[in-house]
A and B are shown apart, each in its own frame.
Chain A
Amino acid sequence: MSNRKINMKEKYRLLTRDLEWEYSYRDYKEIFPMEEFEGIKITDWSKWEDPFRLTMDAYWKYQAEKEKKLYAILDAFAQNNGQQNVTDARYVNAIKLFLTGISPGEHQAAMGFGHVGRQLGGVGARVACQMQAIDELRHVQTQIHAMSHYNKFFDGFQDFSHMHDRVWYLSVPKSFFDDARTAGPFEYMVAIGFSFEYVLTNLLFVPFMSGAAYNGDMATVTFGFSAQSDEARHMTLGLEIIKFLLEQHPDNVPIVQRWINKWFWRGTRMLALVAMMMDYMLPNKVMSWKEAWEVYFEEAGGALFKDLARYGIEMPAYAKTAIAEKEHISHQAWSIFYNYGHAAAFHTWMPTEEEMDWLSEKYPDTFDKYYRPRFEKWREMEAAGERFYNPTLPMLCQTCQIPMGFTDMEDPTSTFYRQSEYDGERYNFCSDGCKDIFDYEPEKYVQSWLPVHQIYQGNCGGAEMEEVLGEYYKINLGVDNMDFHGSPDEQRWNAWHNLSSAEDKLKQAS
């Protein structure tokens, strides 16, 4: 008997979609109890188009090959002390921010995709989400391994998991993922699957990985390359979920639009951390934040939303504000961190003269006018032995949890500020976008665990800053925090490099 040939699509259908059956001992709603409460209408799961067709045997095989290569390079990196080859020890602070701020988000994504990978009623969608769940577990674990060696030679990596639950600026990414995880399954998919993975990934994942490539960070960039094909799958899933929801029922359109508005704005706020990383923390710059924003949001995102217009989806609300902010956001975010450099688990610094010139060139309309004078003053203070630190505790935005420091785009010298009242209490916001998110679901956002409120309420180890920063956050004071200049990181780095140059001299002499 010669075997009939079956094509890929048919085979995948038989090996995945056809496994599902119609439940008869229990009700569908008992098995999938979360499918209706968000108001999304699914009329026919069989219309789901599989975004990729990967059976488990192929998944194991490809992923194992990738892992083998990745770990071979991580081993070689450690053996050869590859950390010495980065452009400059300041660079390492970018990946401290990544490990403490982003990697725990990968873990949250794994949990979230696992959750929807059980709760969605369509087997095709579930299986695609499950694969993303295990990929995201891969990401957090390989990131820990990629940075494990840096942890042995630099300060600030050592307690990333403990810090993620407590430190003030880490509540920005933490609350972002908590927000998505606590939403219903479809909002989660629009938040993380679509808005984050599809619309914003080139502005988050890619800048860190390109930053690594430009700054001699072999460990991180190898992780980045290794994760690229995972990310490609995640993007196709993100796009499919949107198309599927929009095609299922016209009533889904306004719900999806509202989620896109919300998650675009929430994502944009979180990207302020990436913006400052790109413009200030990379000794070798990849491109400016503004350029990245133009290429990846204005051009690529613009094309995407043009494509989605046929479903009745519009550009996210406040895209205009976000576009105007590209001129300012990185400088303002870095100013905030420079101000609170004593309360951060990574180092901050003022740009060098050449770096300021680069910023002037990249931001001709704003840098010299609004930021250079302030930065030069801070540099003078530092030179006079009075490095500026802001001793007060900032007020935080109730939604995005970033200190209120972003300015009005109409008047870039005054801080933007909005308030809402709910249940007799006042709440503060950094933007109209954040206020809107709160106003639509105040019962959710009044719950925010705002780090500054928590300090005032005595929930963070005590009333003294040393108790909060040192004991509760577990920042090694005078070691992990403060300016890069004078830090143990800087001293070690100089020692390594003097050592090797002394060796070079010896070699030349012989």
Chain B
Amino acid sequence: MSIEIKTATLEPIRHTFEHTKRRFGDKPASRYQEASYDIAPEQNFHYRPLWQPEKELFDQSRTAVRMEDWNVHKDPRQYYYGTYVQARAKLQEVTESNYAFFEKRGLADRMNDEVKAKIIRCLVPLRHAELGANMNNMFAFSYGTATVLNQGFLYQSMDRLGIAQYLSRIGLLLGGNSTENLVAAKEFWMSDPAWQGIRRYIENALCLKDWFEVFIAQDVVLDTLLYDLMYRQFDEAITEQGGSDLAMLTEFMQEWHKDSSRWVDATLKTTVGESEHNRETIAGWITDWQEKAVADLAPLAEIAVGDGAINASVDVLNKRLAKAGL
């Protein structure tokens, strides 16, 4: 049975804003559409940047990739600020109770020293790599053209800061909140040969000028390999060695990566599908960065998981690229 409350109905004079009407037709638009599409300035800029006088603000030539219309991108998650923070709040709530449980039950004490040492050497130093990912995504955000795509980079950037913070907390939790694990992990990051390739890779990516190449180097190539290696293969290896409780602490990263991959895949596919020029440009970047990433990650893969681990991650990356038409 349904009940019906009578309300005074007023006929609206229009269904949505003109920018959404032009793009999606004369019908009510979603909140995602109204707040994401065509809201960035496009022309009549007043001054050239003092920090880059050869270009305008929102200049499309800040990447070699070309789009007839940057606003054809779409986030399959339909994140605008409100839906984004609510999705992350849900994920962090689960994470918070995992971390609280881990601490309350003293699960760190159940891990043997060897497992702990391995986590500190192989996983915790990633907190620095995540800061690099935060900076790289912020770079792409600040130089992109269309808000519907740009906002994805902003969310991605903040996510990476969050992950860096969770990784730091893992370091603290495994050492009874003393800072020594973080100090040790930083030492590995700075001078352990297993980490130097990755650190060099990130420092190089931080010097790139093309924001779409940054996306390729960071979010597509490195992250696909690294997340498969650390949050799937390493997680399995640690479980076998009696460290299965670690999974409680890395659930956020695993879930986040699934979520973020939907956006990364869609972004890649739309851009590659635009033109042969884009496909070639992107394929060129991928070849360069993949070669470096595989070589740079191999020593870590070796100590974290073992022989052949990096090849398994490369398979995952190749599948992903094939899906995007590369």
Tell me the A residues contacting B by CB distance below 8 Å.
1-6, 14-16, 18-26, 30-31, 34, 37-38, 55-57, 59-61, 63-65, 67-68, 70-71, 79-81, 84, 104, 107-108, 110-111, 114-115, 117-118, 123, 126-127, 130-131, 133-134, 137-138, 140-142, 144-145, 148, 151-155, 157-162, 164-166, 171, 174-175, 178-179, 181-185, 444-445, 447-449, 454, 474, 492, 496, 500
Contacts and interface: CB of A to CB of B under 8 A. Distances in A.
B154 A161 contact: no
Contact of A153 (B13, B88, B162): B13
Contacts of B131: 19-20, 123
B142 interface: yes
B154 A114 contact: yes
Interface majority SS (helix, strand, loop, mixed), chain A: helix
Nearest to B134: A130
B44 A162 contact: no
Nearest to B141: A114
Nearest to A499: B8
Question: In the complex, which range does the number of interface residues on chain B fall in?
Answer: 35 or more
Contact of B51 (A34, A81, A448): A34
B46 to A, nearest CB: 4
Contacts of B158: 56, 59, 130-131, 134
A447 B49 CA distance: 11
Given A104-B41, A148-B34, A159-B18, A141 B80 contact: yes
B190 A21 contact: yes
Interface string B74-109: 000000111001101111110110000001001011
A142 B48 contact: no
A138 B44 contact: no
Interface stretch (B176-184, B228-236, B240-248, B279-287): B176-184
B31 interface: yes
Contacts of A183: 50
B8 A81 contact: yes
Given A1-B106, A57-B165, A134-B81, 18 more contacts: A6-B177, A60-B92, A64-B88, A107-B40, A118-B138, A127-B161, A133-B138, A144-B17, A144-B34, A152-B12, A152-B16, A153-B12, A159-B17, A160-B17, A161-B39, A166-B43, A182-B50, A448-B46
22 contacts: A1-B109, A3-B176, A15-B169, A18-B168, A18-B186, A19-B164, A26-B206, A26-B207, A56-B159, A63-B85, A84-B10, A107-B40, A114-B154, A126-B138, A130-B161, A153-B10, A158-B14, A160-B17, A165-B42, A165-B44, A175-B47, A182-B51
Interface stretch (B197-205, B215-223, B301-309): B197-205
Contact of B50 (A144, A154, A184, A496): A184
Contact of A159 (B19, B103, B150, B204): B19
Contacts of A171: 44, 46
